[in-house]
Amino acid sequence: MRGWRPALRIAWRDALRHRGRSILVLVMISLPVLAVSAAAVVIKTAEVSGVERADRVLGAADARVRTEGRGALVQAPDPLESGWTPVGEVDLDAPLTEDELRAVLGQDARLVPIEDGSAATRLDDRVFDFSTIGVDLSDPIAEGLFELEAGRLPDAPGEVVVNGAMLDKGFAVGDELDVAGTALRIVGAGRDATAYDYPVVLGSSQDMRSGAVNLREWLVDAGPVSWSQVRELNAIGAVVVSRAVLADPPDDASMSEQLGYGTGQEETYAVAALIIVMALIEVVLLAGPAFAVGARRHARTLALIAASGGTPAQARRVIIASGVVLGLVASVAGLVLGVLAGWAALPFVQRFNGEWFGPFEAPWPYLAAIVVFGLVSALLASVVPAWLASRQDVVAVLAGRRGDRRPRASTPVVGLVLLGIGVAASAYGAVTAGGGSGAFWIAGAAILSVLGMILVVPVVVSTVARLAGRLPLTARYAARDAARHRARTVPAVAAVAATVAGVVALGIANASDEESNEATYWPQAPMGTGVVSWGPNVLPGEEAPDPEPVWSSIEQVVRETVPGVEVERTHGLAESYDPNGWTSQQVVLPPDLEDGEGWGLSVYGPSVAVSDTAAGAGVVGDVLGDVDRALAAGRTVVFTLAAEGDVEASLVEETWREGSEQAVDRRVHRLDAVMVPWDQATSGPAPASTILPTAVTDELGLEVMTRDLRLTGDLDEATETRVDEAVRGVTDGTYTYVERGYERPDEAVVVLLVLGALGGLLMLGGTLTATFLALSDARPDLATLSAVGAAPRTRRRVAASYAVVVGLVGSVLGAAVGFIPGVAISRPLTAAQMGPSGEEAGPFLAVPWLLVAVIVVALPLLTAAVVGLTARSRLPLVARLD
């Protein structure tokens, strides 16, 4: 430590003296630290695990025991988090009894039944689902499961309390709630321990049956339940959440093996490692130039240290010490601000989460790791400048000349080799795409390629400087100066290049994925056609409403709302539902036609349509005539992939009862049918798989009803929205759909925008850093320019030129490198897809040229414009004359 003290002192003073540069480094390092520690706080707080969850599911109980039948199982110490699995046969018909549990838990253990389930109810014409919890809330053991905020707790059968989300649905304390035919009165409202935005109803366990036949669950009051007791209960078929076990979990390595997880761990670690390495590279590159400038400013100090007998290691320490000082300050500042930001963001994030967050939690081990990340990035950023500074030519520096050693010729060669390995590994990853590890090869190769690229940057920068002779003065100056101050320019250019490489790679991956999505899109209806469908929401025991009046009002509303759109009803066989069961109808072809060219068609309308004309069933295309002729002759039309000609098909009607495993009634009708091949590739999905003429349905006495409304005409998105809103106003359970072909999902666009914005920001950061550090280095040159008569705006021109050099070189190089992983990753992403007609499709490769052009050309120019406009235009005075 003693050897470090002078170095640290110099670094500390230097950081205070050069505030601008210090702030630059602080921002570069503290921002990622801030973001990640805020995220860690939010994630850890949102995550409810272990002891936190215990309070929510246990209330005041010592354990919660659940059984679905008799038979050994293994469970994780926290079964709600990590699950359980049976190890043998489970006898569902012989549930465990309370006595058997008491044999393990102790004879005086108190078992309070609790039921966890779900139910549905009707509010006006809407049906919605909610969770149910059946437990005696007045029992002290249930304390903590529900926090009463209004009214009172239920104290008699038929009384329930609800949570806030239930009130939001339109219920109020005092209302009656109809659940499965039983009227329950809401006597109170409050906060459920777990659910935040999902409706929950709590009542006695008699009123709130879970509905599951074999499931039984108890809250246990028996003192701490040990892990060995848990294992004993597991052996007879009970899953146990024990407060004592959660508080002090046993080593669960053997458990996880039996539960069969741990398989996905390596992948998660690999992904995390990749992200950390990339972030580290980016931060190091962004902060690097500031240390390079610092090292140059210290050139004389270091030379003096060397002249007075200091070793190169001692010289290095001066620069590395500034990495230590700035890295520590930045990490700690970022951590403090990040924890505060995470805390402040919690209420906002809670709104998007269905479960209550746990209490505020700062995960110190993670946060410590994040601080180490910040410190390491600062150290790494200062290492190269420190090493270069320790190699300087002492005599030259003391004589006032530049003491840079020439760069090693081997560096770019190593870079090219790394790039080559990167290309090879990417190619390997792309070829072994099916194996699943392809993506890791490619991501690893991306890191190698970026590292290789960094080593090539100095050569590229020198080459640009050599070619700059013909450029206008300021550009020539910028290019040459950039090459002269490589220690500062190279990391900045590399930072821009790494960012661009990432954006280009992800852009190619995204574009290829989109192209694959588009090529493999399965339309749900013919292009431009709209469908309004409706199915009644019926609670068990309720009679379904008569559909025809509902359809009439839906049709009327649609016609009134969009008069210009053609509306037609599609009819089909009724899929009747009554409280006791339902009847299904199915058209069956002879067995030799069932596969391949017979079935396999995608259908957007009813399976069995009923119509006397092809147009009436929504048939389009050149099969119209064939279908019309067959229907006119009273024959059934069956659409196939390829088979054609007459066929003897049969209509199978089966009636099912609730809870039964076999059809109670089965009727088969012979159909005189014609097979008509449907060309999906051109006409899209078929309107039905079978069309029956009314002659057949009349003869067989089949019930025909409206199945949906088919809309054709001008159906833009505004029209679709109007139709959708109008039919929703008529009744519950409607669905409006208009086929527009493949449309890019909004999230994909948002992801692209965020990616672009982040890329732009990092690029701007890299460019600005390099430019303003260059400007401060260029002070004497600018003073000279002023003395020989440069106009004040020259400074702006120099700044803008600098930004162009850094931005353009970086983005061209980065785009080239980004193609390597981008093209490679598109293969595992898009290979082995299935096209809309079932054919094999992919892999796809699409290059978003517009994005590439914007990033390579437009963004550097834009950055240069920003730099040019924001740079001060006053030129400094020559030092001697100051």
Partner 1 sequence: MNAVLHLASVSRVHGEGATEVHALRSVTFRAHPGELVAVMGPSGSGKSTLLTLAGGLDAPTSGSVWIEGTDLATLDNAGRARMRRTSVGYVFQDFNLIPALTAAENVALPRELDGEKGRIARRLALTALEEVGIVDLADRFPDEMSGGQQQRVAIARAIVGERRLILADEPTGALDTDTGEEILRLLRARCDAGAAGVMVTHEARHAAWADRVVFLRDGVVVDETGADEPEILLAGDRA
Residues in touch with partner 1 (CB under 8 A) = 401-402, 470, 472-473, 476-477, 480-481, 484, 780-781, 783-792, 794, 877-878, 880-881
Indicate the residue among 474 and 706 with the shorter CB distance to partner 1: 474
Distance CA 340, CA 335 (A): 8
Indicate the residue among 446 and 806 with the shorter CB distance to partner 1: 806
Question: Least separation, in Å, of the C-beta of 479 and partner 1?
Answer: 8
Indicate the residue among 297 and 569 with the shorter CB distance to partner 1: 297
Question: Least separation, in Å, of the C-beta of 792 and partner 1?
Answer: 5
Which residue do the tokens 């959708």 mark? Answer: 724
Indicate the residue among 84 and 477 with the shorter CB distance to partner 1: 477
CA angle 20–22–27, rounded 5-degree value: 95
Distance CA 128, CA 168 (A): 12
Whole-number Cα distances in Å, 610 to 286, 605, 637, 653: 69, 11, 10, 16
Q: What is the DSSP string of 303-339?
A: HHHHHTT--HHHHHHHHHHHHHHHHHHHHHHHHHHHH
Question: Least separation, in Å, of the C-beta of 770 and partner 1?
Answer: 15
Indicate the residue among 671 and 783 with the shorter CB distance to partner 1: 783
Distance CA 216, CA 220 (A): 13
* Alpha carbon of residue 420 to chain centroid: 32
Indicate the residue among 212 and 877 with the shorter CB distance to partner 1: 877
Which residue do the tokens 């209550």 mark? Answer: 356
Best CA proximity match to 186, nearest among 153, 138, 142, 143? 153
Looking at the DSSP bridge assignments, the partners of residue 567 are 711
Question: Least separation, in Å, of the C-beta of 812 and partner 1?
Answer: 22
Best CA proximity match to 67, nearest among 216, 193, 183? 216
Distance CA 84, CA 252 (A): 12
Indicate the residue among 131 and 462 with the shorter CB distance to partner 1: 462
Element (H, E) at 712: strand 704-712
Question: Least separation, in Å, of the C-beta of 290 and partner 1?
Answer: 21
**Burial class, 396, CB count within 10 angstroms (exposed 0-12 / middle 13-18 / buried 19+):** middle
Question: Least separation, in Å, of the C-beta of 806 and partner 1?
Answer: 15
3-state DSSP of 743-789: CCCHHHHHHHHHHHHHHHHHHHHHHHHHHHHHHHHCHHHHHHHHHCC
Q: Quick check: helix, strand or coil at residue 252?
A: coil
Question: Least separation, in Å, of the C-beta of 465 and partner 1?
Answer: 8
Question: Least separation, in Å, of the C-beta of 790 and partner 1?
Answer: 5
Question: Least separation, in Å, of the C-beta of 880 and partner 1?
Answer: 6
Distance CA 601, CA 782 (A): 75
Question: Least separation, in Å, of the C-beta of 782 and partner 1?
Answer: 9
Question: Least separation, in Å, of the C-beta of 784 and partner 1?
Answer: 4
Sign of the C-alpha dihedral computed for residues 398, 400, 403 and 404 taken in this order:
positive
Indicate the residue among 242 and 794 with the shorter CB distance to partner 1: 794
Indicate the residue among 486 and 827 with the shorter CB distance to partner 1: 486
Indicate the residue among 211 and 792 with the shorter CB distance to partner 1: 792
Rg (CA), the chain: 36
Determine contact, residues 327/375, Cβ cutoff 8 Å: yes
Distance CA 642, CA 631 (A): 20
Distance CA 531, CA 547 (A): 17
Q: What is the DSSP string of 155-207?
A: -STTEEEEEHHHHHTT--TT-EEEETTEEEEEEEEEEESSBSSS-EEEE-TTT
Indicate the residue among 16 and 473 with the shorter CB distance to partner 1: 473
Indicate the residue among 771 and 786 with the shorter CB distance to partner 1: 786
Question: Least separation, in Å, of the C-beta of 513 and partner 1?
Answer: 46
